[in-house]
């Protein structure tokens, strides 16, 4: 971190430009309109103040939707400190609004270097949290490795994304995790909507905003057919792309086949694609050999949590030159003058070049976060250090509230139907 950047950091936060605060407020209020479930929770929290005086350290993508979650926790009485969970996903106007209009200490600057990113995580840990709210497990990892001094006061936490949950389970296997964590990602009201429809739409939004490329008629290769991959593949098809899927697991590969996509190994797909999107949570899914086989002009993006899915170090070494040709588009010129365009430095493209998920899906993800913290208040002491799902009843309640907000009504079981489903004697 350069001394001039360090000088702008205080206990109130680290803001790129305070003058952006009013623009941030307008966008936060715009997102709030699409977050009816979180609004209801906020109204109840305001009344009952269940989180009064509880200290929460959050490491999340700093977006308008996250701001609404922070305002909900604050309405419940919590004392919050927030930092970014990715160096390129921060919305600087939101940080300015959180610090200068809402008084929530927030440490995040879009495009921050690795040193600044980790100094921001340190800053939220300095608030001596009782609860952590993480997205990708960087906050939890720092607490367990470099900041053991602050772990004693932590009671429990939540984790937002697939990659974070995978890292936590690995900590449990190694006997390293020191407090219980709720896997928000594993709620149905999270992954079925946020990962699928949220990542699906916003990833294409990011690719389009960065490149203005016509999707119709393009060959889009989606690497990984998990919940995010399903969303990206179906939205790309909806826009007229010819979609190819690559997988390593036979089950999602078979699903992709029956969903009507062409499935083939990556070394074959790389020769055909115009646009590539990795969404695996895995490392070097596109490696140097893949880049070498791509068509001239191929566009490559990642929407998985970390920027490890593309082996950009090897690509950079191979390249004769690298230059930025548009915001979030880097042109790598390889020997024989082949050009590959990498978007958003390989970081999640929906947050780097677009605005992340639409508020309507984050409404449910963040309802899980808010209700998860409330649940931990009364249950954390009974839980051993491990990874736990959000209770099914909360998941269903969030779906019920969302349907209600959408004005959609459903049927209820008749007593006869309930009895039938509970019995084993009735057959043919």
Question: Cα-atom radius of gyration of the chain, to the nearest Å?
Answer: 22
At its nearest, how many Å lie between ligand NAD and the CB of residue 165? 8
For ligand NAD, which is the closer residue by CB, 210 or 380? 210
Closest residue by beta carbon to ligand NAD: 226
For ligand NAD, which is the closer residue by CB, 251 or 336? 251
At its nearest, how many Å lie between ligand NAD and the CB of residue 112? 19
Binding site for ligand NAD (CB under 6 A): 161-163, 191, 195, 199, 223-229, 246-249, 252, 279-282, 285, 303-305, 348, 350-351
Interior angle at CA 307, CA 302 and CA 311, nearest 5: 85
Q: Residue 59: which residues within 8 A CB-CB, separation 6 or more?
A: 82, 83, 84, 85, 121, 124, 132, 133, 134, 135, 136, 138, 139
For ligand NAD, which is the closer residue by CB, 13 or 200? 200
At its nearest, how many Å lie between ligand NAD and the CB of residue 302? 8
- Are 144 and 121 within 8 A, CB to CB? no
At its nearest, how many Å lie between ligand NAD and the CB of residue 406? 22
At its nearest, how many Å lie between ligand NAD and the CB of residue 286? 9
At its nearest, how many Å lie between ligand NAD and the CB of residue 346? 12
- Tell me the CA distances in angstroms from 365 to 59, 104, 157, 369, one per residue in order: 15, 21, 15, 7
For ligand NAD, which is the closer residue by CB, 119 or 202? 202
**163 φ, ψ (degrees, to nearest 5):** -60, -40
For ligand NAD, which is the closer residue by CB, 154 or 221? 221
Q: Residue 249: which residues within 8 A CB-CB, separation 6 or more?
A: none
For ligand NAD, which is the closer residue by CB, 15 or 343? 343
- The beta-strand segments (E) located in 200-289 are 219-223, 242-246, 262-263, 275-278
The two structure tokens encoding residue 223 = 């690497």
Q: Report d(CA 290, CA 295) in Å as an integer.
A: 10
């Amino acid at each position: 971190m350069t001394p001039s950047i360090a000088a702008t950091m205080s206990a109130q936060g680290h803001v790129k430009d305070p003058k952006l605060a009013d623009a941030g407020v307008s966008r936060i209020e715009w997102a709030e309109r699409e977050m009816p479930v979180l609004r209801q929770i906020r109204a109840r929290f305001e009344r009952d103040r269940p989180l009064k005086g509880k200290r929460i350290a959050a490491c999340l993508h700093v977006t308008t939707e996250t701001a609404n979650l922070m305002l909900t926790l604050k309405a419940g009485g919590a004392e919050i400190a927030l930092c970014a969970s990715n160096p390129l996903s921060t919305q600087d106007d939101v940080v300015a609004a959180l610090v200068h209009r809402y008084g929530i200490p927030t440490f995040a600057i879009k495009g921050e270097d690795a040193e600044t990113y980790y100094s921001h995580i340190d800053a939220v840990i300095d608030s001596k949290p009782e609860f952590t709210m993480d997205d990708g497990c960087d906050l939890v990892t720092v607490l367990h490795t470099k900041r053991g001094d602050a772990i004693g006061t932590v009671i429990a936490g939540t984790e937002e994304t697939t990659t974070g949950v995978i890292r936590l389970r690995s900590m449990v296997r190694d006997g390293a995790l020191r407090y219980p964590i709720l896997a928000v990602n594993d709620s149905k009201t999270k992954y079925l909507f946020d990962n699928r429809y949220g990542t699906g739409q916003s990833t294409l939004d990011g690719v389009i905003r960065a490149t203005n490329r016509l999707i119709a008629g393009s060959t889009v290769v989606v690497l990984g057919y998990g919940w995010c991959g399903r969303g990206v593949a179906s939205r790309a098809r909806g826009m007229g792309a010819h979609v190819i899927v690559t997988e390593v697991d036979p089950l999602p590969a078979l699903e992709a086949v029956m969903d009507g996509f062409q499935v083939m190994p990556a070394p074959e797909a790389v020769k055909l694609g115009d646009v590539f999107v990795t969404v695996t949570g895995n490392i070097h899914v596109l490696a140097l050999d893949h880049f070498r086989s791509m068509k001239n002009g191929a566009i490559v993006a990642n929407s998985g949590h970390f920027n490890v899915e593309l082996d950009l170090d090897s690509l950079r070494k191979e390249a004769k030159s690298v230059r930025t040709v548009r915001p979030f588009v880097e042109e790598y010129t390889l020997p024989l003058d082949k050009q590959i365009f990498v978007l958003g430095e390989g970081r999640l493209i929906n947050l780097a070049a677009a605005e992340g998920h639409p508020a309507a899906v984050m409404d449910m993800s963040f309802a899980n976060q808010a209700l998860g913290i409330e649940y931990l208040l009364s249950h954390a002491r009974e839980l051993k250090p491990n990874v736990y799902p959000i209770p099914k009843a909360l998941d269903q309640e969030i779906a019920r509230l969302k349907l209600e907000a959408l004005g959609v009504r459903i049927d209820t079981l008749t007593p006869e139907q309930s009895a039938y489903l509970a019995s084993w004697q009735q057959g043919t």
